Amino acid sequence: MRHIAPLVLVTGLAACGPPAADYGAVFDHTGGRWVDLTHAFSESTIYWPTDTAGFQLEELAFGPTEGGWFYASYQFASAEHGGTHLDAPLHFAEGGLTNDQIPLSGLIGPAVVVDVTAHVTPDYLVSVDDLTAWEAANGAIPDGAILLIRTGWADRWSDRTAYLGTDLTGDAAVAELHFPGIGAEAAHWLVDNRGIVAVGIDTPSIDRGQSTDFRAHVILYAESISGFENVANLSALPATGSYVVALPMKIEGGSGGPLRIVAFVP
């Protein structure tokens, strides 16, 4: 299993070397813009069709109190793998990193956006040719990169049937799923030739809907490469030059979790 080094941010160490970078422009919007890549969680959030409970939000309190102030409080329930979420390597790799064990360097990094919208189909498999064609135009995928696959499927998010390829629920729905994913050959190529730390996609799964063996999951997660599924707004990112921050709910021992993923575009 590949080792992902911890990410350490150090500031105020000018006496020990070059002056620390001024990151203020990143956070005051003068140096670029932030893009939210996350679908909001609600009762309409899309989950794997065998998870029929979905996202649940229960009101515990809402309104004025006896003390005279307003107070609102809710409780929520959700499976780990629904909506915009993290797949920790453990999800498909026995002994793999759990949610809370993934270092920040596996969740934060330069973004590479491979756009296959021009030729995607409902059962499309992202191929080695897609990756090498992208590199021919943009240069090699750098070590430490977060690879984001744009299929255009996020545009279907408001239509569950169009997004999943079926209006069925439960076990009967699984064989009827139709959406693009990453091919096994492409997953092997990435593991053998590039040093990405995570892969994200704007579909329900990094494997296509018609997959029965989930090879992309198995191949990538065995190498401690995490997955981000149901990613939104990839059309707002350039092919290169943006940076991703993908921070899930930190669930001890978890195989995944709800994810707030954003990108900074200089």
CATH number at residue 99: 3.50.30.50
> Annotated catalytic residue: which of 39, 81, 85, 91?
91
pLDDT (0 to 100) of residue 1: 53
**Averaged pLDDT, 87-106:** 98
For residue 88, tell me if it sits in a domain.
yes
Q: Determine which helix (DSSP H) or strand (DSSP E) holds 160, and give its type and residue range.
A: helix 160-164
Q: Determine which helix (DSSP H) or strand (DSSP E) holds 203, and give its type and residue range.
A: none
**CA 39, 166, 117, 247 torsion-angle sign:** positive
Do strands 198-201 and 146-150 pair parallel, antiparallel, or not at all (unpaired)?
Answer: parallel
Domain extent at residue 179? 28-49+80-265
Q: How much of the chain exceeds pLDDT 70, in percent? A: 92
**Averaged pLDDT, 175-190:** 98
For residue 261, tell me if it sits in a domain.
yes
Active site residue 91: yes
In whole angstroms, give the CA distance from residue 155 to residue 176.
20
Domain count, the chain: 1
Burial class (CB in 10 A: 0-12, 13-18, 19+), 29: exposed
For residue 134, tell me if it sits in a domain.
yes
For residue 57, tell me if it sits in a domain.
no
Span 35-48, pLDDT tens digits: 999 999 999 999 99
For residue 121, tell me if it sits in a domain.
yes
Span 55-88, pLDDT tens digits: 999 999 999 999 999 999 999 999 999 999 999 9
For residue 152, tell me if it sits in a domain.
yes
* pTM exceeding the 0.75 threshold for the entire prediction: yes
